[in-house]
Amino acid sequence: MGFKMGIVGMPNVGKSTLFNALTKTAAAQAANFPFCTIEPNVGEVNVPEARLYKLAEIAGSANIIPARMTFVDIAGLVKGASKGEGLGNQFLANIREVDAIAHVLRCFEDGDVTHVDGRVNPVEDAEVIETELMLADLESIEKRRAGLVRKLKGNDKEAQQQDRLLAAAQAMLEEGKPARLVEVAEDDAKAWVGLQLLTTKKTLYVCNVDEASAAEGNAHAQAVAEMAAAQGAGHVIISAQIEEEISQLDNDEAAMFLEEMGLEEAGLDRLIRAGYELLHLETYFTCGPKEARAWTIKEGTSAPKAAGVIHGDFEKGFIRAETIAYDDYVACGGEQGAKEAGKMRAEGKGYIVKDGDVMHFLFNT
């Protein structure tokens, strides 16, 4: 399990340039006019994870398999998208299928790149997109609640739960606030996710800055940071132009280029890490002579559920997990050393997997 992040924004903010750089492809046609991306482009990337390579080195693993993350480049949204402006309805539907939204905002001045509204104001751009998503949600909720009337008359329990949650979302949206601000009880969590409302998606604001502002940001990026903080959202500063240049270099050249630009790491690494933090994701490892592999799980995942990420049979027949913390694995020089030092633990069904755990699952077939 990785996760799927939709790249959204207004036309000509650098979405497709960023997508191309992140996935190291030219699948998305970057061009200086609106709606050049019509169908959503999809690309997968490895999740950067230095610990995985250290484990593989210690274990002498023949293969290294990183976790994967999917980016979906969704076409530019404009004011009126919820009513079909600029092919909007088609694109709004694509957003429903992602785990989180990377909202790219133009934080650079460039007279050669046309802004659809003729000005550069990333906070206003964010408000335009958020408004369109809220309007689309309101329209969807009204239709769905109308469709539940017959079941509600029959006292259908599932319909009652759906209607209650939809009503809560509707009330929040009518206050001009996104549905993600609704407080949802644990018993309703699964049904809430099943509603697939656009404004329940967690949002990461991506400040696309010019090359000179890549290290420290600029006034536009600062305004976005303040907006994100007020919303409890995440934000990262990236220069799509720099990322595009890096994507054409080998590892040594890229490292040298980043150093020259005053950057500690590529934007991809920062974007993925911010996405993991936003969605409360963690990584555990399996490691041996054949392969070292990283697996993505939600924070708070039990050992059987973590095993199920590998294969459903592992969860069904779970007996126990042999677990070594990453630091102990490294300090003890591998599994055998950790076992001899008493650092390998046998954990049962109630164990909550920790980020960095190196695990081996025992199960009944």
Task: Say whether both 213 and 331 belong to one domain.
Answer: no
Task: Say whether both 350 and 225 belong to one domain.
Answer: no
Q: Tell whether 314 is covered by a domain.
A: yes
Q: Tell whether 288 is covered by a domain.
A: no
Q: Tell whether 115 is covered by a domain.
A: yes
Task: Say whether both 350 and 202 belong to one domain.
Answer: no
Within 13 Å, how many C-alpha atoms sit on residue 321's CB side?
Answer: 26
Task: Say whether both 109 and 57 belong to one domain.
Answer: yes
Q: Are 47 and 66 in contact (CB under 8 A)?
A: yes
Question: What is the number of domains present in the chain?
Answer: 2
Task: Say whether both 201 and 141 belong to one domain.
Answer: yes
Q: Which residues contact 14 (CB under 8 A, 6 or more apart)?
A: 104, 106, 208, 240, 241
Q: Phi and psi (nearest 5°) for 324?
A: -130, 130
Q: Tell whether 287 is covered by a domain.
A: no
Task: Say whether both 131 and 31 belong to one domain.
Answer: yes
Give the domain CATH number at 306: 3.10.20.30
pTM of the model: 0.82
Task: Say whether both 142 and 239 belong to one domain.
Answer: yes
Collapsing DSSP to helix, strand or coil, 101 comes out as strand
Q: Tell whether 283 is covered by a domain.
A: no
* Residue-range definition of the domain harbouring residue 99: 4-278
Q: Tell whether 26 is covered by a domain.
A: yes
Q: Tell whether 285 is covered by a domain.
A: no
Task: Say whether both 81 and 176 belong to one domain.
Answer: yes
| Token pair of 169 as six digits | 């979302």
Task: Say whether both 242 and 158 belong to one domain.
Answer: yes
Task: Say whether both 349 and 229 belong to one domain.
Answer: no
Q: Tell whether 289 is covered by a domain.
A: no
| Interior angle at CA 165, CA 186 and CA 135, nearest 5 | 125
Task: Say whether both 223 and 346 belong to one domain.
Answer: no
Q: What does each of the 365 residues of the chain score in pLDDT, given as a tens digit?
A: 568 898 888 888 888 888 888 777 434 434 444 334 445 578 888 888 999 999 999 999 999 999 988 888 886 665 654 455 444 455 667 788 888 999 999 998 876 655 555 678 999 999 988 888 899 899 999 999 999 999 999 999 999 999 999 999 999 999 999 999 999 999 999 999 999 898 998 899 999 999 899 888 999 999 999 999 988 889 999 998 888 888 888 878 888 988 888 888 888 888 888 989 888 999 999 999 999 999 999 999 999 999 999 999 999 999 999 999 999 999 999 999 999 999 999 999 999 999 999 999 999 87
